[in-house]
């Protein structure tokens, strides 16, 4: 994972604790990443730019974008400069991306079963669109 994030600007660690959002337990792999870095933004891998929202701002971010009204079993933890939200589904236990202008379940893509797999797959997803 270190190689993927070599050009990433991590946030400072925080003492803020968040284990649940909208009544759902946050995934362990996501929490482990956030406890070390509390999000940040920058280049990831060879092809992508990602932003991960600070733990202390995650609830406000999801409320502002009305994520729980559109996807009640999901939360959004970040995005990119192209208008995509990065989300997690508590029921399927999958990470995914979706365009912020198209909030219907049929439009989700880059589905992965772990945080690391999602980040890796996102980088590959953009590599495929550049060819």
Q: What is the pLDDT of residues 25-84, one digit of tens each?
A: 999 999 999 999 999 999 999 889 999 999 999 999 999 989 999 899 999 999 999 999
Cα(32)–Cα(28) distance, rounded to whole angstroms? 6
Cα(75)–Cα(88) distance, rounded to whole angstroms? 6
Residue 2 pLDDT exceeds 90: no
Nearest Cα to Cα of residue 11 among 59, 56, 75, 64: 56
| CA quadruple 42, 39, 72, 94: dihedral, nearest 10 | 70
Predicted confidence band of residue 103 (pLDDT cuts 50, 70, 90): confident
Predicted confidence band of residue 3 (pLDDT cuts 50, 70, 90): confident
Mean pLDDT, the chain, integer: 92
DSSP H or E segment with residue 86? strand 84-89
pLDDT at 129: 59
């Amino acid at each position: 994972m270190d190689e993927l994030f070599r050009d990433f600007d991590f946030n400072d660690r925080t003492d803020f604790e968040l284990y649940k959002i909208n009544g759902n337990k946050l995934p362990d792999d996501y929490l482990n990443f956030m406890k070390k870095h509390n999000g940040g933004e920058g280049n990831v891998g060879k092809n992508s730019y990602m932003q991960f929202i600070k733990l202390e701002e995650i609830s406000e971010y999801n409320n502002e974008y009305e994520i729980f009204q559109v996807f009640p079993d999901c939360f959004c933890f970040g995005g990119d400069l192209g208008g995509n939200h990065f989300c997690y589904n508590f029921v399927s236990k999958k990470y995914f991306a979706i365009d912020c202008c198209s909030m219907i379940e049929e439009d989700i893509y880059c589905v992965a079963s772990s945080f690391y797999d999602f980040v890796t797959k996102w980088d590959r997803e953009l590599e495929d669109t550049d060819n």
